[in-house]
Amino acid sequence: MDQAPTKTPDERVRHLVRLLIEALSVTPRDSTPTSALSERIAASLSAPGTLRETAARAAVDPAADPDATGWPVLGHLDAAVRTASTGPARVAAVAAAIGELGTRLSWYRRDEPRRPEFMAGHANAWIVGPGGALDHDRVHVGVTLLAPHVTYPDHHHRPEELYVVLSDGQWRRAGQGWTTPGIGARVHHPPDVVHAMRASSEPLLALWCLWVEPDEARVGPGRPAQTKATPSRRAR
Protein backbone atom coordinates (compact mmCIF):
# COMPACT_ATOMS: atom_id res chain seq x y z
CA MET A 1 0.00 0.00 0.00
CA ASP A 2 1.42 3.37 -1.04
CA GLN A 3 2.09 5.85 1.74
CA ALA A 4 0.64 9.35 1.59
CA PRO A 5 3.21 11.93 0.45
CA THR A 6 4.93 13.83 3.23
CA LYS A 7 4.13 17.52 3.42
CA THR A 8 7.01 19.92 2.86
CA PRO A 9 7.69 22.48 5.62
CA ASP A 10 5.97 25.24 3.63
CA GLU A 11 2.90 23.05 3.09
CA ARG A 12 2.75 22.34 6.81
CA VAL A 13 2.86 26.06 7.59
CA ARG A 14 0.05 26.76 5.12
CA HIS A 15 -1.92 23.89 6.65
CA LEU A 16 -1.45 25.45 10.10
CA VAL A 17 -2.70 28.82 8.84
CA ARG A 18 -5.78 27.17 7.32
CA LEU A 19 -6.54 25.51 10.65
CA LEU A 20 -6.16 28.86 12.42
CA ILE A 21 -8.58 30.49 9.99
CA GLU A 22 -11.10 27.72 10.65
CA ALA A 23 -10.71 28.08 14.42
CA LEU A 24 -11.23 31.85 14.27
CA SER A 25 -14.14 31.57 11.85
CA VAL A 26 -16.28 29.51 14.23
CA THR A 27 -15.95 31.92 17.15
CA PRO A 28 -19.07 33.79 18.33
CA ARG A 29 -20.06 36.69 16.11
CA ASP A 30 -20.77 39.55 18.50
CA SER A 31 -19.75 43.15 19.07
CA THR A 32 -16.85 42.49 21.44
CA PRO A 33 -13.33 43.62 20.44
CA THR A 34 -12.17 39.98 20.70
CA SER A 35 -14.71 38.72 18.17
CA ALA A 36 -14.21 41.71 15.90
CA LEU A 37 -10.45 41.12 15.74
CA SER A 38 -10.95 37.37 15.24
CA GLU A 39 -13.19 37.99 12.24
CA ARG A 40 -10.84 40.62 10.80
CA ILE A 41 -7.81 38.32 11.06
CA ALA A 42 -9.62 35.30 9.59
CA ALA A 43 -10.95 37.34 6.67
CA SER A 44 -7.60 38.96 5.96
CA LEU A 45 -5.66 35.68 6.04
CA SER A 46 -8.30 34.11 3.77
CA ALA A 47 -8.12 36.80 1.10
CA PRO A 48 -6.61 35.40 -2.13
CA GLY A 49 -2.98 36.22 -2.73
CA THR A 50 -2.33 37.84 0.63
CA LEU A 51 -0.08 35.10 2.04
CA ARG A 52 3.30 35.20 0.36
CA GLU A 53 6.35 32.98 0.62
CA THR A 54 9.33 34.85 1.99
CA ALA A 55 13.08 34.72 1.75
CA ALA A 56 12.93 33.26 5.27
CA ARG A 57 11.68 29.89 3.98
CA ALA A 58 14.82 28.41 5.54
CA ALA A 59 13.22 29.32 8.87
CA VAL A 60 11.29 26.04 8.74
CA ASP A 61 14.47 24.07 8.20
CA PRO A 62 16.19 22.71 11.36
CA ALA A 63 19.51 23.96 10.01
CA ALA A 64 18.24 27.54 10.18
CA ASP A 65 18.74 27.69 13.95
CA PRO A 66 20.90 24.83 15.21
CA ASP A 67 21.04 26.24 18.74
CA ALA A 68 17.27 26.20 19.19
CA THR A 69 16.96 22.46 18.67
CA GLY A 70 18.81 21.99 21.96
CA TRP A 71 16.80 24.43 24.05
CA PRO A 72 15.36 22.51 27.05
CA VAL A 73 12.07 24.43 26.87
CA LEU A 74 11.28 22.80 23.52
CA GLY A 75 11.19 19.48 25.34
CA HIS A 76 7.86 20.67 26.78
CA LEU A 77 6.23 21.09 23.38
CA ASP A 78 4.88 17.54 23.12
CA ALA A 79 3.29 17.76 26.59
CA ALA A 80 1.63 21.07 25.68
CA VAL A 81 0.24 19.57 22.47
CA ARG A 82 -1.16 16.62 24.43
CA THR A 83 -2.88 19.03 26.81
CA ALA A 84 -4.34 20.91 23.85
CA SER A 85 -5.82 17.65 22.55
CA THR A 86 -8.26 17.71 25.50
CA GLY A 87 -9.77 20.98 24.28
CA PRO A 88 -12.04 21.84 21.34
CA ALA A 89 -11.27 19.85 18.19
CA ARG A 90 -10.27 22.86 16.07
CA VAL A 91 -7.89 24.11 18.75
CA ALA A 92 -6.40 20.63 19.18
CA ALA A 93 -5.77 20.53 15.42
CA VAL A 94 -3.91 23.87 15.53
CA ALA A 95 -1.69 22.64 18.38
CA ALA A 96 -1.03 19.33 16.61
CA ALA A 97 0.10 21.23 13.51
CA ILE A 98 2.51 23.28 15.63
CA GLY A 99 3.82 20.08 17.20
CA GLU A 100 4.36 18.58 13.75
CA LEU A 101 6.54 21.53 12.76
CA GLY A 102 8.36 21.47 16.11
CA THR A 103 12.00 22.53 15.85
CA ARG A 104 11.56 23.28 12.15
CA LEU A 105 10.03 26.60 13.15
CA SER A 106 12.22 29.67 13.54
CA TRP A 107 12.43 29.75 17.35
CA TYR A 108 13.88 32.76 19.13
CA ARG A 109 13.94 34.23 22.64
CA ARG A 110 13.41 37.61 24.21
CA ASP A 111 16.68 38.93 25.53
CA GLU A 112 16.37 39.23 29.33
CA PRO A 113 19.85 38.49 30.75
CA ARG A 114 18.77 39.46 34.28
CA ARG A 115 16.03 36.80 34.15
CA PRO A 116 17.92 33.55 33.57
CA GLU A 117 14.94 31.37 34.50
CA PHE A 118 12.79 33.16 31.95
CA MET A 119 15.51 33.02 29.30
CA ALA A 120 15.84 29.25 29.72
CA GLY A 121 12.11 28.65 30.07
CA HIS A 122 10.57 30.33 27.05
CA ALA A 123 10.67 30.20 23.27
CA ASN A 124 8.82 32.07 20.53
CA ALA A 125 8.52 31.29 16.82
CA TRP A 126 7.30 33.15 13.76
CA ILE A 127 4.74 31.47 11.49
CA VAL A 128 3.56 34.43 9.40
CA GLY A 129 5.66 37.59 9.37
CA PRO A 130 9.34 38.47 9.76
CA GLY A 131 11.27 35.25 10.22
CA GLY A 132 8.39 33.00 9.19
CA ALA A 133 7.93 30.95 6.05
CA LEU A 134 5.01 33.17 4.99
CA ASP A 135 4.38 36.92 5.10
CA HIS A 136 1.26 39.09 5.15
CA ASP A 137 0.87 42.86 5.03
CA ARG A 138 -1.52 43.17 7.97
CA VAL A 139 -1.38 39.97 10.05
CA HIS A 140 1.56 38.43 11.86
CA VAL A 141 1.21 35.04 13.51
CA GLY A 142 3.50 33.25 15.93
CA VAL A 143 3.61 30.88 18.87
CA THR A 144 4.94 31.07 22.42
CA LEU A 145 5.93 28.16 24.65
CA LEU A 146 6.60 28.51 28.39
CA ALA A 147 8.04 25.83 30.66
CA PRO A 148 6.08 25.06 33.85
CA HIS A 149 6.05 27.87 36.46
CA VAL A 150 7.69 30.37 34.09
CA THR A 151 6.26 33.88 33.70
CA TYR A 152 6.48 35.90 30.48
CA PRO A 153 7.11 39.38 31.92
CA ASP A 154 5.20 42.58 31.24
CA HIS A 155 5.56 43.83 27.69
CA HIS A 156 3.60 45.88 25.16
CA HIS A 157 3.54 46.67 21.47
CA ARG A 158 1.62 48.94 19.15
CA PRO A 159 -0.23 46.24 17.11
CA GLU A 160 -3.54 44.99 18.48
CA GLU A 161 -3.19 41.35 19.54
CA LEU A 162 -5.24 38.18 19.80
CA TYR A 163 -4.01 35.07 21.64
CA VAL A 164 -5.52 31.64 20.99
CA VAL A 165 -5.00 29.65 24.20
CA LEU A 166 -3.79 26.14 23.38
CA SER A 167 -2.98 24.84 26.86
CA ASP A 168 -3.44 25.77 30.50
CA GLY A 169 -2.03 29.08 31.68
CA GLN A 170 -2.85 32.53 33.01
CA TRP A 171 -2.94 36.01 31.47
CA ARG A 172 -2.84 39.49 32.96
CA ARG A 173 -3.13 42.96 31.49
CA ALA A 174 -2.96 46.48 32.91
CA GLY A 175 -5.90 47.19 35.18
CA GLN A 176 -6.83 43.53 35.57
CA GLY A 177 -5.60 40.64 37.70
CA TRP A 178 -4.52 37.20 36.59
CA THR A 179 -7.18 35.17 34.76
CA THR A 180 -7.31 31.57 33.52
CA PRO A 181 -9.04 31.69 30.11
CA GLY A 182 -9.00 27.92 29.49
CA ILE A 183 -8.07 25.86 26.44
CA GLY A 184 -9.65 27.25 23.30
CA ALA A 185 -10.28 30.72 24.70
CA ARG A 186 -9.15 33.92 23.01
CA VAL A 187 -7.35 36.73 24.83
CA HIS A 188 -7.51 40.23 23.36
CA HIS A 189 -5.01 43.03 23.98
CA PRO A 190 -5.66 46.56 22.67
CA PRO A 191 -2.71 48.49 21.19
CA ASP A 192 0.05 49.33 23.66
CA VAL A 193 -1.61 47.72 26.68
CA VAL A 194 0.89 46.17 29.11
CA HIS A 195 0.33 42.43 29.51
CA ALA A 196 1.96 39.23 30.74
CA MET A 197 1.30 35.48 30.92
CA ARG A 198 2.51 32.60 33.03
CA ALA A 199 2.49 28.82 33.04
CA SER A 200 1.12 26.74 35.88
CA SER A 201 2.47 23.29 36.74
CA GLU A 202 2.00 22.45 33.04
CA PRO A 203 3.69 24.11 30.06
CA LEU A 204 1.86 26.97 28.38
CA LEU A 205 1.38 26.98 24.61
CA ALA A 206 -0.34 29.90 22.88
CA LEU A 207 -0.66 31.16 19.34
CA TRP A 208 -0.65 34.92 18.86
CA CYS A 209 -1.91 37.11 16.02
CA LEU A 210 -0.97 40.76 15.56
CA TRP A 211 -2.96 43.22 13.47
CA VAL A 212 -0.31 45.52 12.01
CA GLU A 213 -1.28 48.97 10.76
CA PRO A 214 0.67 50.32 7.77
CA ASP A 215 2.62 52.84 9.86
CA GLU A 216 3.53 50.42 12.66
CA ALA A 217 6.85 48.70 13.18
CA ARG A 218 6.90 45.00 12.34
CA VAL A 219 7.18 43.62 15.83
CA GLY A 220 6.59 40.42 17.70
CA PRO A 221 5.25 40.14 21.25
CA GLY A 222 7.87 41.26 23.69
CA ARG A 223 9.83 43.33 21.23
CA PRO A 224 10.06 47.08 21.85
CA ALA A 225 7.62 48.81 19.50
CA GLN A 226 10.40 50.85 17.92
CA THR A 227 12.51 47.79 17.10
CA LYS A 228 12.36 46.29 13.65
CA ALA A 229 11.37 42.64 13.84
CA THR A 230 14.10 40.46 12.44
CA PRO A 231 14.63 36.76 13.21
CA SER A 232 16.87 36.88 16.24
CA ARG A 233 17.24 34.74 19.32
CA ARG A 234 18.18 37.89 21.22
CA ALA A 235 15.32 40.19 20.31
CA ARG A 236 12.04 38.90 21.77
Q: Tens digit of pLDDT for each residue in 87-111?
A: 999 999 999 999 999 988 888 988 8
- Predicted pLDDT at 17: 95
Q: 159-189: per-residue pLDDT in tens?
A: 999 999 999 899 999 988 999 999 999 999 9
Residue 219 covered by a domain: no
| Number of separate domains in the chain | 1
How far apart CA 231 and CA 169 sit, in angstroms, is 26
Residue 146 covered by a domain: yes
Q: Is 102 left (phi over 0), alpha (psi -120 to 50) or beta?
A: left
Residue 226 covered by a domain: no
Q: Residue 73: give its domain's CATH number.
A: 2.60.120.10
Residue 129 covered by a domain: yes
Residue 126 covered by a domain: yes
Residue 218 covered by a domain: no
- Give the structural domain span for 75: 9-211
**3-state secondary structure (DSSP) of residue 229:** coil
124 and 231 Cβ atoms separated by less than 8 Å: no
Residue 161 covered by a domain: yes
Q: What are phi and psi of 201, to 5 degrees?
A: -75, -5
Residue 120 covered by a domain: yes
Task: Tell me the whole-structure pTM to 2 decimals.
Answer: 0.84
